[in-house]
Amino acid sequence: MPRVGVFVCWCGVNIAKTVDVEQVAQKASTLPGVVYSTSYRYMCSDPGQELIRNAISEHKLDRVVVASCSPAMHETTFQRAVSEAGLNPYFMEMANIREQDSWVHEDRELATEKAFELIAAAVERVKRAQPLEPLEFSVEKKALVIGGGIAGIQAALDIAEAGFQVYLVEKSPSIGGRMAQFDKTFPTLDCAMCILSPKMVDCYRHPNIKILSYSEVEEVKGFVGNFEVTIKKKARSVNEDLCTGCGLCIERCPTKATSEFDEGIGERKAIYIPFPQAVPLVPVIDREVCLWFTKGRCGLCQRVCPAKAIDYSQQDTYIKEKFGTIIVATGADIFDASVYGEYGYGQHPDIITSAQLERMINSSGPTKGEIIRPSNGKHPESVVFIQCVGSRDEQKGYPYCSRVCCMYTAKHALLLKEHLPNVKTYIFYIDIRAFGKGYEEFVRRVQDEFGAIYIRGRVGRIYPENGKLIVQGTDTLLGQQVKVEADLVVLAAALVPRKDVKDLARKLNISTDEYGWLMEAHPKLRPVETMTKGIFLAGTCQFPKDIPDSVAQASAAASKAIAIMQQESLFSEPVVARVNKNKCVGCFSCKEVCPYSAIEEETVLEQTSGLEKKIAKVNPGLCQGCGNCASACRSQAIDLLGFTSEQLIAQLEGLAKVERE
Amino acid sequence: MKVAYFPGCSLHSTGIEFDISVREVCKAVGIELEEIEGWICCGATSAHATNHLLSLAMPAYSLALAERMDVEDVVAPCAACFNRLKHTAVLCQDKATFEKVRELLPIPWENRLRIRNLLDLFVGMLEEIKPKITKPLSDLKLASYYGCLLLRPPHICQFDDPENPTTMDELLRACGAQVVDWTHKTECCGANLTIPRSDLVVELTYRILKSAKTAGADAIVTACPFCHLNLDARQADVHRVKGEIFNIPILYFTQVLGLALGIPAKKLGLRRHLVDPFLIPTLRRR
């Protein structure tokens, strides 16, 4: 017969105010199997834990029930306490008499009774507990970073500096991401490329970093410490080892296409390097437009290449690698502003997005830093900015605030004035959100020193008239309609989740929120972790962020990854599902409901017939102990350790017995 | 195809030429209009501004009458009527609202009919209409003007893109006309302020007329009797206040379609407009 000790916590007044803790402790001592019972002001405090440890040795307890808060708060605390006293940690059970009782009830008498019932149930359950031991497995000391923007670059550098190998996988031909497209950064106006390119070069030269550009993650298997990843290296048509980056091929290429890097306002060749500082500095052939691939002629680049690096026959290749941890830093897309028919984006060339203006301001951009009206190539005299295009708009876009638009718009208003001192700038806004260090001061400067006119209100229509664009909106502070004549209209399109993010999330077995942003494990306390152990988030794939926040999150994600990889081996939570081989009929209903792909197939010999049969097997490394499989199993062949059917039924019976009395 | 016809007050009064042309065109394309017997006001004028429940119950009563007929669709050519009927049908999909409205009605109502506007109906059968177009209006440049009530609020009207609608353009193009690309196809004409703030209405009307003229339109085509009245009748005021003479005819899309179908101009009520459509040389020959 197990010897159970019950420890009732007051939690200051949190529990004691509504529950008569002393009476509960006294009553609990009468429960069958309970040999010791007491209450204490703060059970989680040092003296509280000491009290538990002493009682275990003094009263020879082999099972413990702590009646306090939710196990989500202090399960580990009390498990540690009992194991310090020599008990298996899974011989400790918590009865939640705070969140599920004192906090939600007012009647002291009934709450006291409920506390007792919960304890009685926990006692019955703990009596049937089995000792569980954590599983040990090895850790691959190599990290995978998906996405080569500033977040991915920072994370890769941090991990590499800590002495671990990193594979940095980037979908496009060069690392650098969004930041590489920018001209200056707010609020300090550092030149974006001047601060980014040293980091890109560091990545390239670091002995611990391997950059796989023009590559994508194809498949992810395994679990923390032991991820097995297949990476597709898309055919570049240029041999990276031979190419010297001289650019002769690009010069000679006769075919032009729209430049993605220039946000559609510039052109590139069919063979191209997206921007001068690209890393790696190796061109790629766009097979969709290249004459060789579309019409089977030309071949000019191959003829002129002095290094004989052009290889039309290149195929996609697949690389299989093992990784201990994964950092996802895939960034964000930009909202399609043409959704707003009233703004006329896509219908009039002088209505552009902020990203396009950014490329225009950039001296390596399509206009070499000249700010012009695309319709006639002349300098604009009046520019209207519209904020919150696609953000803070439940009707046409997303309800959330995109966080960076207020600041980059202020930056654009300033840069415009620097380039064209006579330009007039107007900014239609809902609220100015300048939350960061030095941000409010920056916006103030843009208003005071750079003469930007902020108009609080939305724009209802933009239409051309006499060679100008008429921006018609409301000024909600004046309560009047306003009309502004503009030469150029710039739409601050929101950051939105990547179109293909759900695909990636599925491969990685991590979740996305209602919009498609990748989900952190806890919005406040675990902001860079995902619910899948060993996979971390950095940058705008989680939510819109500016550069300082992306970098900070990237370093945080890197340190989390390092903390895992510096361990010799990992121990997993023993609360995993287990299949009873004799009972399993191999229907694999469990496989369908498992969110972690932890159910594998196993062939065994059937005891009676001696025939082979296929049954389910749980991979304990992947299993997160959710219990879906156990409830889906028709033949009751699956038990969740620590939550066995026997334990749960005993717990229910515990409740029922009290009820009868 | 037989449909229940809800003309509303405008089509019996200021917009009578809309009614005339609707009936002619429907006959020509094979739509049998059966007017709902005993229909009452749709509530667009004041009911929806004073009592929400009443604003649903009034259209619901007419819809209930229509359910006694052997039809699937209720057609309301007037944009305001369409808007109110559709509001009722959509909002009463909520069970609690539906019950409240039903309690007020003296006759049973199931809310099972589809509410259509005529544009929707015509564009839906465009392939059938096209062969019947015998007199295409190839030298006519038209500005399609949708106004507000046909499209907004979008979750109620569930018809075309509220910012950049194209259905009428499609229909007019099928009539052989050239449709101009212009900027004010959904701007407010100010009709609801026509009495209290006529100064504003003159300004709003002016913008629309100006934009259509700039785009090179011979005429503006509307789908709403309020828009029509406002744009047609205000041109004199616009002249007085703004000093600009437009003399741009305002037509109903049914009149344009009627002409293209070969119906004589006099049978389409074209002579009832204030700005004479026969100022356009092409129309004089019809």
Neighbours of A401 (CB within 10 A): 18
Are residue A588 and residue A554 in the same domain, yes or no?
Answer: no
In a domain, A506, yes or no: no
Does B270 score more than 80 pLDDT?
A: yes
- 8 Å CB contact between A148 and A209: no
pLDDT of residue A659: 54
d(CA B72, CA B62): 14
Considering the domain boundaries, does residue A241 fall inside one? yes
Are A252 and A368 found together in one domain? Answer: no
- Tell me, yes or no, whether B150 and B68 share the same domain: no
Chain A partners within 8 Å of B164 (Cβ): 341-342
Select from B119, B148, B165 the last residue of a domain.
Answer: B119
Residues in chain B: 286
User: Of B183, B185, B211, which to mutate for an interface test with A (greatest number of A Cβ within 10 Å)?
Assistant: B183
* Statement to judge: residues B188 and B275 lie in one domain: yes
Print the domain residue range for A539. Answer: 142-331+534-565
Element (H, E) at A47: helix A46-58
The CATH number for A117's domain is 3.40.50
B142/B112 same-domain check:
no
Q: What average pLDDT score do residues A394-409 get? A: 96
pLDDT at A476: 96
- C-alpha span between A63 and A44 (Å, rounded): 18
- Residue A207: Cβ within 10 Å count: 7
User: Are A213 and A282 members of one domain?
Assistant: yes
Q: Does a structural domain hold residue B192? A: yes
Residue A461 contacts B where some CB pair is shorter than 8 Å: yes
Q: Exposed, middle or buried, A377 (CB in 10 Å: 0-12/13-18/19+)?
A: exposed
Note whether A322 and A337 are same-domain residues. Answer: no
Residues A67 and A110 in one domain: yes
| A463 touching B (Cβ < 8 Å) | yes
Distances (CA, A) of A396 to A432, A546, B120, B154: 21, 24, 23, 11
Q: Note whether B161 contacts A: Cβ–Cβ < 8 A.
A: yes
A342 contacts B163? CB cut-off 8 A? yes
Q: Are residues B145 and B273 in the same domain?
A: yes
pLDDT of residue A465: 87
Nearest to A340 among B154, B163, B183 (CB): B163
A655: in domain: no
Q: Are A601 and A614 in contact (CB under 8 A)?
A: yes
Same domain, B279 and B165: yes
Report pTM: 0.81
Q: Tell me the pairing of strands A325-328 and A535-537.
A: parallel
What is the largest distance, in Å, between two alpha-carbon atoms of chain A? 94
pLDDT greater than 90 at residue A142: yes
Angle between helices B52-67 and B95-104 (to 10 degrees): 80
Specify the DSSP class assigned to residue A102: I
In a shared domain, residues B111 and B6: yes
Maximum distance among all alpha carbons in chain B? 57
Strand partners, A590: none
User: Which uninterrupted H or E stretch holds A557?
Assistant: helix A547-565
Q: B192: pLDDT confidence band, cut at 50, 70 and 90?
A: confident
Name the residue in chain A with its Cα closest to that of B184.
Answer: A463
The answer as to whether B128 is a domain residue is no
Residue A489, pLDDT above cutoff 60: yes
Let me know if residue A615 belongs to a domain: yes
Q: What is the DSSP letter of A512?
A: B
User: Measured between CB atoms, does B162 come within 8 Å of chain A?
Assistant: yes
A341 and B183 in contact by Cβ < 8 A?
no
| Interacting residues of A144 by C-beta distance below 8 A, sequence separation 6+ | A166, A167, A169, A217, A227, A229, A321, A323, A325, A326, A327
Task: Show the CA angle centred on residue B187, arms to residues A334 and B202, nearest 5°.
Answer: 145
Residue of B nearest to A343 (CA): B163
A200 and A81 in one domain? no
pLDDT tens-digit map of A179-220: 999 999 999 999 999 999 999 999 999 999 999 999 999 999
Statement: residue B62 has pLDDT above 70: yes
**CATH code of the domain in which A440 resides:** 3.50.50.60
Mean residue pLDDT of chain A comes to 95
Q: What residues in A contact B163, CB-CB < 8 Å?
A: 340-342
pLDDT given at position A26: 96
The model's confidence at residue B48, banded by pLDDT at 50, 70 and 90, is confident
Q: Is residue B125 part of a domain?
A: no
**Residue range A88-98: average pLDDT?**
97
Q: Quick one: which of A24, A28, A32, A38 has its CA closest to A3?
A: A32
> What separation, in Å, do the N-terminal and C-terminal C-alpha atoms of chain A show?
23
Same domain, yes or no, for B186 and B233?
yes
Residue A661 has pLDDT above 80, yes or no: no
Q: Mark which residues 184-203 of B lie under 8 Å from A by CB.
A: 184, 187
- Asked if A341 lies within 8 A of B211 by C-beta distance, the reply is no
Same domain assignment for residues A382 and A484: yes
CA distance A477 to chain B (A): 20
- Chain A residues whose CB is inside 8 A of the B201 CB are none
Query: Is B48's Cβ below 8 Å from some Cβ in A?
Result: no
The CATH number of the domain holding residue B168 is 3.40.50.11810
Q: Is residue A592 part of a domain?
A: yes
Tokens of A538: 């950095």
Give the up-direction half-sphere exposure of residue A392: CA atoms within 13 A in the CB hemisphere: 19
Q: Are residue B60 and residue B141 in the same domain, yes or no?
A: no
Residue A640 pLDDT exceeds 80: yes
Q: What is the pLDDT of residues A64-77, one digit of tens each?
A: 999 999 998 999 99
Contact criterion met (CB < 8 Å) for A341 and B184: no
Does A647 map to a domain? no
Rounded CA separation B150/B224 (Å)? 8
Residues B72 and B146 in one domain: no
pLDDT mean over A92-118: 96
What pLDDT does A115 receive?
A: 96
* Global ipTM: 0.75
Contact A465/B at CB under 8 A: yes
Residues of B in contact with A342 (CB under 8 A): 163-164
Q: Which residue(s) pair with A284 in the sheet?
A: A272
Q: Which of A461, A464, A465 sits opposite B187 (nearest CB)?
A: A461
Contacts 24+ apart (CB under 8 A), A366-371: A366/A259, A366/A262, A366/A265, A366/A266, A366/A267, A367/A266, A369/A183, A369/A419, A371/A416, A371/A419, A371/A420, A371/A488
List A residues 375-404 in contact with B (Cβ-Cβ < 8 A). Answer: 395
> What are the counts of helices (DSSP H) followed by strands (DSSP E) for chain A?
17, 34
Q: Is residue B126 part of a domain?
A: no
Secondary structure of A17-44 as H, E, C letters: CCCCHHHHHHHHCCCCCEEEEEEECCCC
Residue of A nearest to B210 (CA): A465
Q: The domain spanning residue B107 has which CATH number?
A: 1.20.1050.140
Domain boundary (B119, B154, B183) is at: B119
Cis peptide preceding A187, ω within 30 of 0: yes
Say whether both B141 and B84 belong to one domain: no
Residue B225 structural domain = 136-284
d(CA A519, CA A575): 24
Is residue A508 included in any domain, yes or no? no
Whether A355 is covered by a domain: the verdict is: yes
Q: How many domains does chain A have?
A: 4
- Span B115-136, pLDDT tens digits: 999 999 999 999 999 999 999 9
Q: What is the pLDDT of residue B151?
A: 92
**Does residue A464 belong to the interface with chain B, where contact is any CB pair within 8 Å?**
yes
Q: What is the pLDDT of residues A439-475, one digit of tens each?
A: 999 999 999 999 999 999 999 999 988 899 999 999 9
Give mean pLDDT, residues B42-58: 90
Query: Which chain A residue has its CA at the smallest distance from B182's CA?
Result: A463
Phi, psi (degrees; rounded to nearest 5) at B211: -65, -40
Query: pLDDT over 70 for what percent of chain B?
Result: 100
Contact: A463, B214; criterion CB under 8 Å: no
Asked whether residue A240 falls in the same domain as residue A378, the answer is no
Domain count, chain B: 2
d(CA A49, CA A304): 77
Counted across chains A and B, CB pairs separated by less than 8 A come out at 17
Which of A340, A395, A464 faces B183 most closely, judged by CB atoms? A464
- Burial (CB count <10 Å: 0-12, 13-18, 19+), residue B154: middle
Residues A455 and A582 in one domain: no
The domain that holds A592 is classified in CATH as 3.30.70.3270
- Other beta carbons within 10 angstroms of residue B166's beta carbon come to 15
User: What is the pLDDT confidence band of residue B193, given thresholds at 50, 70 and 90?
Assistant: confident
Measured in whole angstroms, the distance separating CA B66 from the mean position of its chain's CA atoms is 20
Contact A341 B162 (CB under 8 A): yes
Query: Which residue's entry shows tokens 């465009």?
Result: B126
In our burial notation (b when 16+ CB lie closer than 10 A, e otherwise), range A138-158 reads: ebbbbbbbbbbbbbbbbbbbb
Do A547 and A590 share a domain, yes or no? Answer: no
- Domain end: A496, A522, A555, which one? A496
- Whole-number pLDDT of residue B282: 82
Q: Which of A251-255, B43-47, B60-64, B116-120 is least confident?
A: B43-47
pLDDT for A166 equals 98
